[in-house]
Structure 1
Amino acid sequence: MVPDPGDREFDVLVVGAGQAGLATAHHLRSRLPAGSRLCVVDVGELGGRWEQRWDSLHLFTPRRFSELAGLPFPAGPDPYPGRREVAGYLRAYAAHHHLSVRAGVRVTGLGRDGELFVATTHETGAATASTGTHHLRARQVVIATGPFAVPHRPDFSAELGPEVTQLHAGDYRRPADLPVGPVHVVGGGNSAAQLAIELADTGRAVHVVAPREPWYVPTHILGIDAYRWFRVAGVLNARTNAPLSRYIRRRGDVIVGTELRGRIQRGEITLTTSRAVHAAPGVLGLADGAKLGVEAVLWCTGFRQDTSWIQVPGALHPDGTPRHLHGASPVPGLHWMGLPWQTRLNSSLLSGVDRDAMRTAARIANALPRASR
């Protein structure tokens, strides 16, 4: 089932080798008929996307809730693993399950040719047979590029002018990336909380601009890890359309840990609860009419999935988001993996991707015999 680097036609093509792609490949290996050809490609090296995040990044899920099937997450001094540990874990997972990944393969287009999907690729990796533009054909395709491919910042950010230093969390590495002086951190999730605390530790005046009052969950409740409570209560496995899930989605991001709240209460960090909606040179305008003078802005406004390369009719909504039901596209043979709320609250996280991967692999294995007759 390990493809030759020169192969160009496969039974299954998995695009993306993060946690979603690797977990799917693992379950496919155990379910596909003997002789099936499976190919996993990724634009970068294994774990590379994690290596590119900011230096101090830690997961907000503990180690024992951050592992894929068949390989425990290694122990460490911090209960919350750092970015390099996650990258190393993904590499170890691929090696443990003997998963072959073609690195350095960027898929620039995906279309159809009869019953086969055709992926146009630009290849630069040492694991590929040759560089340049090529075409890979497959009966089944899994898109596992993840929801965090493109940093999102509001269009009006350009109106702040060149005098204001702007950086997105996806491009931030360390406090030295921003000039000395006050910083406005725009966003209300865990990234905003972690980075606001890190910047405040350097002595900067840090102002958090969040769309609503943050929703904090302590890391421990009655001395027990909060994630253990979540598991017992069924929170992590709450289905997408369950009442609990609908409430959580309306309520917004949960910030794991209460350190930011303590910093705000002590006056070490200031908090403004309103949505940033427009800008002028040096000024950030809020939905409540307030105007904030800014010198530097760190945008913690999330990411978007890049679907611009997908030209399969019926695969996308008009706004470019995936059309799917629990990861199954209405286009036969096309599958999505690692989407937020794909089937459950934690579908896009290490702790939840495995269940969806198993379901996707089973769906593909059941379809392949019919496709090959």
Structure 2
Amino acid sequence: MLIPQAWSGFSRHQSVKFHPSVQISTFQCKIGPPFSEFTNYLQTYADHFALPIQTDTRVMDMQKRAETFVLQTTQGTYQAATVIVATGPFHHPRIPAFASALSPQVEQLHSAAYRNPSQIPPGPVLVVGAGDSGAHTAAELAHAHPVSLAAAHPLYFVPLTLLGKSLFWYLDRLHLLEVDGTRSLGAWLKA
């Protein structure tokens, strides 16, 4: 099993909470565990099943030969009957060109480098982007700073828990996490 270095190096917000339906699994893991608990959960899971984990390995090429996938990596060649690509879309920070034209007195920090509020100097903060990372960062920083949140579209926030259960627990039970975004219900949910 190839795991990005980001997971093993704890290169995410230290207080970020995960919202998948991890409570459904056979391991007991509370709703929305902090990053450290979630990574400990993954390590326990890997240890329990004696999974061969390899970190910091780049897949250079993958080809299907008969019923087997052959992966060429920076650490050698691997073969597998099944490959799951779960890398996520946001591994490399996208910083707009105008950022370099801002005054050096404007402290800039991408969410990929953000760990906790102690990194942020005193004063007001502008968080650009209101996806999971941006919204979480803004909420966390609001305890110690005046925070503004910039987004491309109007924002609609819903509670993360309802009646003691994660919102994602309900979405999973109602099969709304599987809704096709091109159909009417999916289009309405995305709006």
Task: Give the match for residue 97 of structure 1.
Answer: 49
Task: Give the match for residue 13 of structure 2.
Answer: 54
Pairing of 1:174-323 with structure 2 (within 5 A): 174-202=116-144, 204-221=145-162, 223=163, 225=165, 226-249=167-190, 251=191
The question of 1:80 aligning with 2:32 is answered yes
Q: Mark the structure with the bigger radius of gyration.
A: 1
Matched AA of 2:109:
L
The DSSP-based 3-state class of the residue aligned with 2:58 is: strand
Q: Deviations over 1:84-127 (max 9, x none)?
A: 011011111222233222334333x215597676544333xxxx
1:82, distance to aligned residue in structure 2 (A): 0.1
Contact between 2:126 and 2:147, CA under 8 Å: does it hold in 1? yes
Question: Cα–Cα, structure 1 residues 192 and 144, in superposed 2: closer, same or farther, change >3 Å?
Answer: closer
Q: Deviations over 1:31-79 (max 9, x none)?
A: xxxxxxxxx223438x426x22112211245xxx22464x23334xxx4
Question: Cα–Cα, structure 1 residues 224 and 243, in superposed 2: closer, same or farther, change >3 Å?
Answer: farther
Task: Give the match for residue 113 of structure 2.
Answer: 171
1:169, distance to aligned residue in structure 2 (A): 1.1
Question: Cα–Cα, structure 1 residues 185 and 159, in superposed 2: closer, same or farther, change >3 Å?
Answer: same
The DSSP-based 3-state class of the residue aligned with 1:166 is: coil
Compute the RMSD of aligned alpha carbons: 3.1
Task: Give the match for residue 3 of structure 2.
Answer: 42
Structure with more of its chain in strand, by fraction: 1
1:231, distance to aligned residue in structure 2 (A): 4.0
Counterpart CA distance in 2 for 1:172 and 1:111 is: 33
Contact between 2:69 and 2:80, CA under 8 Å: does it hold in 1? yes
1:140, distance to aligned residue in structure 2 (A): 5.9
Structure 2, unmatched stretches of 5+, are none
1:110 aligns with one of 61, 82, 101 = 61
Question: Cα–Cα, structure 1 residues 190 and 91, in superposed 2: closer, same or farther, change >3 Å?
Answer: same
Q: Share of identical aligned residues, percent?
A: 29
Question: Cα–Cα, structure 1 residues 192 and 102, in superposed 2: closer, same or farther, change >3 Å?
Answer: closer
1:218, distance to aligned residue in structure 2 (A): 2.2
Question: Cα–Cα, structure 1 residues 113 and 57, in superposed 2: closer, same or farther, change >3 Å?
Answer: closer
Structure with higher RCO (Cα < 8 A, 6+ apart): 1
Structure 1, unmatched stretches of 5+, are 1-39, 124-133, 252-373
Q: How many residues align?
A: 189
Q: Deviations over 1:305-339 (max 9, x none)?
A: xxxxxxxxxxxxxxxxxxxxxxxxxxxxxxxxxxx
Task: Give the match for residue 269 of structure 1.
Answer: none
Question: Cα–Cα, structure 1 residues 163 and 118, in superposed 2: closer, same or farther, change >3 Å?
Answer: farther
The DSSP-based 3-state class of the residue aligned with 1:248 is: helix
